[in-house]
Structure 1
Amino acid sequence: MKPETTSRIWHPFTQHALQDETPKIVRGDGAYLYTADGRRIIDAIASWWVVTHGHCHPEIVAAIRKQAEQLNQVIFAGFTHEPAEELAALLLKLTPPGLDYVFFSDSGSTSVEVALKMALGYWRNIGEPRSRILVMQHSYHGDTIGTMSVGARGVFNAAYEPMLFDVTSVPFPERGHEQATLDALEAACRGDNPAAFIVEPLILGAGGMLMYPAWVLKEMKRICETHDVLFIADEVMTGWGRTGTLFACEQADVSPDVACYSKGLTGGSLPLAVTLCRADIFDAHYSRDRQRTFFHSSSYTANPIACAAAKANLGLWQRQETRKQVASVAVMQEERLAAFRADARFRNVRRSGTITALELDVPDGGYLAGIGPQLQSYFRSRNLLLRPLGNTIYVMPPYCITAADLDAIYAGISDASDALI
């Protein structure tokens, strides 16, 4: 029987029949969230991977307040404003070379939709229409129709299968089997006449925090370049220091043809996303023929308040102490993994920059593993915001996290395994 509730809100990625409680958060500060009943929760996953420097960072809050009093919204079709102009200039300065134009949207999913539409529009407008998209096994790129199409097929999108378009998938580069992935990509580039290959650089997020080395990323880019296939880097999650560098592509010395950024773009304060591309992709849409217009928008494209927040965030990234803080979190994370690498209850203990992941050794692994909801409930009882991907537990904290906070997080993970398996 459906329980009586005081709210008619339908929460994302939530099975309400199994949700024992929905804590009400009233305040955020640094690495902490505070509930209505007075508890302090350590945010160990940066509130779905978006919070970088901490909740309610004073400089970002001040930028939001100032902009809200000056210009809160204006249509971006045919108009512009200073926060967007300055943010675009900063992005082009910080992102990999070769990215020349910035298109604004409002979420990771839409930034990827924009990238796919850019790729298809490019080939059509230069008179060489291509429609095939190459993807990587286990990938996840969002929840819109296009992004579900280029993501792994399974529990996330089974109900919507009739709406999805076909893609060509290459295997994930498992350790010791990386060449199979590269061979499959080479064959697909040669045989399918594809428009683009889209990939999450270095780590696949919702697909299970699966990690692969930078040399594979570099080689995938080389293959695409050889066969004139556009290379789309989905850095929605991997950007903004998560893998140890500002952007994951830096570690492979890769400049994508199209790049998608969101989540930490505003430091986790407001929704905003961007898709950056090469000049020739923009040029293919530049014409006095209106049929070659890039037909994409959202009502809040380049919202001035969100752009002001992002500009303040990028200002923080230009400081050396911010980069040092990221490096410090990576070291602290690695130090706490040591004990788990020798613990038989866990397998595939791994780290990429500030992100760690480990899998509980249980019979029914995967996203729908029965232990997943039990783990989430246990962590909630310990005042830890951890949201396992089935039996895969990951830690992706804000960069203001302390050693004591991390000790509490990993003690909770160890104790959960004692209590539940």
Structure 2
Amino acid sequence: MKLQERDKKHLWHPLKQHQTHPESLAIVKAKGCILTDENGNEYIDAISSWYTCMFGHCNDFIIDKVHAQMQQLDQVMFSDFTHEPAIKLSENLIKILPKNQNRIFFNDNGSTAVEAGIKMALQYYFNLDEKRSTFIAFENGFHGDTFGAMSVSGLSVYNGPFEDFLMKVERIPTPNGKNQQEILAKLKEYTVNYKVAGFIYEPIIQGAAGMKIHDANGLNEILNFFKTNNILTIADEVMTGFGKTGSNFASDFIETKPDIICLSKALTGGLVPLAITSCTEKIYEAFLSNEMAKGFFHCHTYSANPIACTAANAAIELLQTNEIQQNIKEISVSHKKFEEHISKHPKVKTTRSQGVIFALDLDTKMARYGSLRDKLLAFFMERGVFLRPLGNTIYIQVPYVITKKELQKVYKTIEESLEIV
């Protein structure tokens, strides 16, 4: 029996309505930018499997490092012990993170990295005998599926059944260069009327919202407002981190740095799960006390797993090579050229690109998970390209190792797809 058929018996897939979409494509092999299904069909992974495998699937350099680590230390609890891969990873991260970051806390995935960041902010004020309970976030932001992360997210398609159980969050629009006074007025209102613990944001690019890019200068002014008002800021760099925007982190493009940063996805090059919540020394010091209860009682069983830390160290080493940095620049230039070309198409409403990320909005209304979206997805897969539209947004986030030929095929497939819209 085919894997695709066996899958239906017991498995429950995420972000899927099994009643109307019972099939799941069985992938048996992945290498570089290519996914291979059980029938031998190949697909260019043009979104790096949800922005994780940025150095290509089954990267030999990462695998070799992990293979060696597996034979020495596989797993040890991180509450009472430490180890070289975790220490090395903290050192490697601090070298490339914004300069105000100094402490590294381990999690399992992007949602839990955000969850830890939210709890850090709440307990930071609690430990200082100042109870705060409200967060501010951007409209249409997405930060994960655990309850705290879901609370600060603004996409109702994910949150609908849980709205009555979420934390108190006030929302502001993303800065576009024209709405700054409106945003600042809202911020002044919120800080007067609520005890605000923190502001969480996706710097520069909102991923799940459709790769929407916002104004860096406006964001910087927003961050300055919070800093002036002693409100912590949390940058969700789960999607944007590790080179995708053309710099190590999207926060590099903003003068005012966040107090807390959430990282995952490309952290390990997509090989194994791992996440980080980093913070300033000031935040860390607020948890130091003779009172045990003022410590940060948040833990994951696989925190700082040595194998995952080793994969992350290898990925960071690759990121800093001249080859990968040059590839990122070349992909960015290529995206700009494609953007200039495709933006003139009558069925394209808007386009944008940043680093290895490119997105276009179709000049048509369509449901996020509707029939036209399904039609486009099928069109891409039939032509050997894995792209996953977000409503009327078609986006690319390719691995850094994609060949010019593969990238041109991605562009060509997108352009051809416009004929069926």
The answer to whether the superposition gives a TM-score over 0.5 is yes
Give the letter for the 2:88 counterpart.
E
| Cα drift, residue 322 of structure 1 | 2.0
Is the contact made by 2:245 and 2:355 (CA closer than 8 Å) also made in structure 1? yes
1:418 maps to 2:419: yes
- Partner in structure 2 of residue 70 of structure 1: 72
> What does the per-residue CA deviation read over 1:360-410, in whole Å, with 9 as the maximum and x for residues that have no partner?
122x33524441111111111111110111111100010111222122112
- Partner in structure 2 of residue 269 of structure 1: 271
| Cα drift, residue 12 of structure 1 | 1.0
CA distance in 2, matches of 1:195, 1:211: 25
- Partner in structure 1 of residue 305 of structure 2: 303
- Partner in structure 1 of residue 317 of structure 2: 315
Structure 1, 366-375 or 340-349: larger mean CA deviation:
366-375
CA distance in 2, matches of 1:200, 1:396: 16
CA distance in 2, matches of 1:250, 1:196: 20
Secondary structure in structure 1 of the residue aligned to 2:158:
coil
Is the contact made by 2:387 and 2:395 (CA closer than 8 Å) also made in structure 1? yes
- Partner in structure 2 of residue 48 of structure 1: 50
1:143 maps to 2:176: no
CA distance in 2, matches of 1:152, 1:366: 17
Is the contact made by 1:369 and 1:391 (CA closer than 8 Å) also made in structure 2? no
Give the letter for the 2:197 counterpart.
A
Give the letter for the 1:389 counterpart.
L
1:15 maps to 2:12: no
Structure 1, 271-280 or 315-324: larger mean CA deviation:
315-324
Number of equivalenced pairs: 417
Q: Compute the RMSD of aligned alpha carbons.
A: 1.6
Give the letter for the 2:305 counterpart.
N
CA distance in 2, matches of 1:36, 1:7: 18
Q: Which consecutive unaligned segments of at least 5 residues does structure 1 have?
A: none
- Partner in structure 2 of residue 394 of structure 1: 395
1:383 maps to 2:384: yes
Say which of 288, 293, 296 aligns to 1:294: 296
Is the contact made by 2:25 and 2:37 (CA closer than 8 Å) also made in structure 1? yes
Q: Which consecutive unaligned segments of at least 5 residues does structure 2 have?
A: none
> What does the per-residue CA deviation read over 1:325-350, in whole Å, with 9 as the maximum and x for residues that have no partner?
11111111111122211111011111
Structure 1, 100-109 or 245-254: larger mean CA deviation:
245-254
Structure 1 residues 22-421: aligned runs within 5 Å: 22-174=24-176, 176-362=178-364, 364-419=365-420, 421=421
Identity of aligned residues (%): 38
Is the contact made by 1:189 and 1:224 (CA closer than 8 Å) also made in structure 2? no
Structure 1, 301-310 or 364-373: larger mean CA deviation:
364-373
Give the letter for the 2:411 counterpart.
Y
Is the contact made by 2:177 and 2:218 (CA closer than 8 Å) also made in structure 1? no
CA distance in 2, matches of 1:180, 1:366: 29
Is the contact made by 2:43 and 2:385 (CA closer than 8 Å) also made in structure 1? yes
CA distance in 2, matches of 1:193, 1:5: 48
Secondary structure in structure 2 of the residue aligned to 1:274:
strand
Structure 1, 129-138 or 177-186: larger mean CA deviation:
177-186
Structure 1, 273-282 or 400-409: larger mean CA deviation:
400-409
| Cα drift, residue 319 of structure 1 | 2.1
Give the letter for the 1:399 counterpart.
Y
Is the contact made by 2:112 and 2:146 (CA closer than 8 Å) also made in structure 1? yes
